Structure 1
Amino acid sequence: MRFRTILATFTTAAALFLGTSFGQADDLTDRAKAGKPIRIGFAHEIPWAYPGDKNEPLGFANAIALGVLKSMGYTNIEPVVTDWGGLIPGLQAGRFDIITGGMYITGKRCANVSFAEPMGKFGDAFIVKKGNPKHIETYQDIKKTGATMATVSGFVNVDAALKEGIAEDKIMQVPGLTEVLAAVKAGRADAGAGNDFAMKDLVQSAPNDIEVTDSAALPEWTFNWVAIAFKPEDKDFLKAYNEAQAKYLGTPEMLEAAGKFKYTKAQLPGDTKTDWICANR
């Protein structure tokens, strides 16, 4: 499989693209069948999607997407690495064709991109100082204790915190997970919020300083489904992708490929469909 990496750095001003319409672009199906590379966009989010030492796309979301694309006959892939906040604007601007970054399906995002059927279901968790001095297990604990929560700008944890009544000035939004970890370690934030996988990975980098809470302590509505995202006009490709993913998801080949990045059968999405998720998340 041929990989050519482009580093696309977007500032927070990229968020301005969110309200704009999609520019005219070649139909993805036609481009792919013509042998042109399929450009996949993702950020640096271990173990979801991230670039390797040779700039190859790693992480279970990339592994699943690449497996599906390979089953469709497409192996000419061009990774495009950006920050998390640049994923949807980058797709809209035509900088890449697909978002493979492990993005949660939400109603807000469904208004801007077309999601494939889910590839997995995941819970959230918090990182806290060792010993969990403020006894934080839920968003309500953060609210009641007046704690400050750090999370990545654009993560669903921002909306979840606001929904639970946490004051906006108690939500520290930072560019990436490295900054979430730094904020908690330095005491600028009492808790760092993110998906369960990412929080557990952060703990491994600082096991003597922080610990992770149990995602099961959070209410059911905080659990989310992850999917690959496409431009709305690429309907034919999306349909073909969904058909191929349905055959690939849960197979030994898929579980082996994604399992290298901590994905297990427990994360399989079940029967919930994207249309329902868009309306209820």
Structure 2
Amino acid sequence: MKAAILKGVAVLGMAALALGSIATSASAESLLEKADKGEPIRIGFANEIPFAYPADDGSPKGFVNVFTIAVLKKMGYENIEPVQTEWGGLIPGLNANRFDIVTGGMNILASRCENIAFSEPVATVGDGFIVAPGNPKGIGDYESVAKGGAVMVTGAGYSNIEAAKAAGVAESNIMQVPGPTEILAAVKSGRADAGAGTYFTMKQLADASSGAVEATDPNAMPESSFNWAGIGFRKADQDFLDKFNAAMKEYIGSDDMLEAVAEYGYGKGSLPGDKTSEWVCANR
């Protein structure tokens, strides 16, 4: 009887190993292989207006989503599935295979380049602030935040955290919240003196606040605070990324592309210029 039980356990063990092998094989399948089989390409993004955000029906909106979907279609891929998450979950979610591409409008930074691969830049992105009407603390750049001992609020995982610390802003004066809605709420309530994010996003918050806050002048920011946004991929999917970059090169800056993203405030001045992702990874 014991021998029969042991034999049964052995058979079950062999079956489990076989199933595990099948699962491992499936999970090891590359994005290019899955896409070429017609499986959905899952794009991950947070609620970051105007970069990437969900419409009321859950469909992907924002200029990075529109741009990415257009490039994927040029590559012959139209089975695209949106996945919304919080900003701080984008890189972990990508590497955990919860989605295949990050379209959130993420700045290319050396610290992020260690964990994921980026497309060539899709936009030049300057930082900006929202402040109380009249800008009572005279905030124009990160140094003014530091010198004035002001409290700055920004999103968890945002590049503004590194920029503020580099300018001397004390960590205790940097409030981290989930995203733009909470940044606006913190400044409106007086819990923070300035909200920091990309100028794209801060201007949109100010314009929609009915005068409760105002956006500071982006020209007051130093050149070193400018960043370049890219689209994120798993490092294991370099073959797909190479194909994406080739298709993107033909599309970026075209009349069709600029017309498609115009409603989100993206114009010719937002184009990334001649900067490459390699350069940005090394210099930001």
User: TM-score, length-normalised on structure 2?
Assistant: 0.90
Residue among 121, 126, 131 paired with 1:123: 126
Residue among 76, 83, 98 paired with 1:80: 83
Q: Distance in 1 between matches of 2:263 and 2:112?
A: 28
Q: Distance in 1 between matches of 2:81 and 2:115?
A: 23
Other structure's SS at 1:44 match: coil
Residue among 159, 162, 168 paired with 1:159: 162
Counterpart for residue 70 of structure 1: 73
Which stretch shifts more, 251-260 or 39-48?
A: 251-260
Counting matched residue pairs gives 259
- One-letter amino acid of the structure 1 residue matched with residue 179 of structure 2: G
Note the C-alpha offset of 1:225.
0.3
Other structure's SS at 1:225 match: strand
Equivalent pair of 1:230/1:238 in contact (CA under 8 Å): yes
Q: Distance in 1 between matches of 2:196 and 2:102?
A: 22
Other structure's SS at 1:260 match: helix
- One-letter amino acid of the structure 1 residue matched with residue 208 of structure 2: S
Equivalent pair of 1:116/1:274 in contact (CA under 8 Å): yes
Counterpart for residue 33 of structure 1: 36
Segments ≥4 residues shifted beyond 4 Å? none
Deviations 1:59-109 (A, max 9, x none): 000011011001011110000000000000000100000001100000000
Note the C-alpha offset of 1:205.
2.0
Equivalent pair of 1:122/1:196 in contact (CA under 8 Å): yes
Note the C-alpha offset of 1:274.
0.6
- One-letter amino acid of the structure 1 residue matched with residue 109 of structure 2: T
Q: Distance in 1 between matches of 2:43 and 2:30?
A: 15
Q: Distance in 1 between matches of 2:173 and 2:56?
A: 36
Equivalent pair of 1:25/1:94 in contact (CA under 8 Å): no
Question: Percent of aligned positions with the same letter in both sequences?
Answer: 54
- One-letter amino acid of the structure 1 residue matched with residue 28 of structure 2: A
Note the C-alpha offset of 1:210.
0.8
RMSD over aligned Cα atoms: 1.0
Counterpart for residue 171 of structure 2: 168
- One-letter amino acid of the structure 2 residue matched with residue 167 of structure 1: A
- One-letter amino acid of the structure 1 residue matched with residue 87 of structure 2: W
Note the C-alpha offset of 1:110.
0.2
> When you count helix as a share of all residues, which structure comes out higher?
2
Q: Distance in 2 between matches of 1:137 and 1:262?
A: 22
Counterpart for residue 144 of structure 1: 147
Counterpart for residue 110 of structure 2: 107
Q: Distance in 1 between matches of 2:79 and 2:28?
A: 19
